[in-house]
Copies of this chain bind each other. A is one copy, B any other.
């Protein structure tokens, strides 16, 4: 893609009225636009990152055997009263339809919608287990929305729901989805900084699990056992006696972190009030057991930026970099031939063909954070400079060796 065709311009200064590092960097680079506190639009380069995250998550959901669906944002007051959360959940956006006279809710999550849907399709133990997921925008009337993409009033989310005949089946899938979550965070490039974390369990199990990514901007505090690659959320650290529940070690490192995913065994919390039952092999009616598993895509994007940047800008992990290559030229037109060759050879490349100074291009390249920077210069004849965003070393290679240099 030619950068001159992008309608977006990078900003020279930090945007006003924005406190969070992730939003500041993403707005300066023109990846996102702030609509209001906690609400952002994704501009072309930002949407490319979101789609890369989305594709990785979708692949992993499909490999879990989950079916993709797309539920609605508008939900009914009745459904939320059935679950008991209409009164309880303070971040629920509530409003009234003038014409239908109905009371609506904007979905912050979808247990209240998926459970009634399943009721129309689950009758027998033969229909179970079922795994369904969606990738869709969610809404929360957050008290404070000052953390950029980390805590939005509107945000993108992948939610997976699982339905089971018994606890063993639910537990097995829970472990499977936990391993899948670890693989997702590995694949998007924050595996090393992300820990499966013991957290307060709610009603049905002693602990639930979150996935927490270490970053100074995190709102959570976790205690890490590096040996086990596990963490304990501050909220339950007393319950485990300041000890790793797996190896018993007391050598725990405290860090600030951001929750990038969570997995819950809901058991019958939603299936009971919605009366979601099945007939077992003896013909007896039983309540379906549920699990639910969330990852915020936009939050994940924010967490990646918070945990991977330097004073000059963002450093995207290669798997979610909006492009793999950012092609610069010291003089207008110099990169033209290489660009066309790269496009023909199927490289994913952003070509900075703008009529601005080379210094400005270098600054923008660092700000944008695309993994591989290529420079075509006058001095280097047919050779190309290649540099990885997170490394200092610049190599001079032939066109054919671009790939080898990686």
Chain A residues with CB under 8 Å of chain B are 5-9, 30, 33, 35-44, 47, 50, 65, 67-76, 90-91, 93-100, 102, 104, 106, 113, 117-118, 120-122, 127, 130, 132, 137, 139, 141-145, 153-154
- Inter-chain CA distance A72–B73, complex, in Å, is 12
Work out how many copies of this chain go into the complex.
Answer: 2
Complex contacts, A67 vs chain B, CB 8 Å: 5-7, 44
For A142, list chain B residues within 8 Å (CB).
Answer: 99-100
**A75 — nearest CB in chain B belongs to which residue?**
B35
A104 proximity list for chain B (CB < 8 A): 93
Picked from B35, B99, B141, the residue with its CB within 8 Å of the CB of A97 is: B141
Chain B residue numbers with a CB within 8 Å of A154 are: 72-74
Select from chain B the residue with minimum beta-carbon distance to A9: B121
- Given the known inter-chain contacts A76-B36, A121-B7, please indicate yes or no for A145 contacting B69, CB distance below 8 A: no
Distance between A145 CB and nearest chain B CB, rounded to angstroms: 7
Tell which of A42, A43, A70 has the most Cβ of chain B within 10 Å.
A70
> Shortest beta-carbon distance, A118 to chain B, in Å?
7
In the complex, what residues of B have CB within 8 A of residue A7's CB?
Answer: 67, 118, 121-122, 127, 130, 132
Residue pair B33, A99 in contact (C-beta under 8 Å): no
Which listed residue, B42, B70, B94, touches A41 by the CB 8 Å rule? B70
Known: A67-B6, A94-B95. Contact between A113 and B41, CB under 8 A?
yes
A42 to chain B, nearest CB (A): 4
- Contact assessment for B40 and A72 in the assembled complex, using a CB-CB cutoff below 8 Å: yes
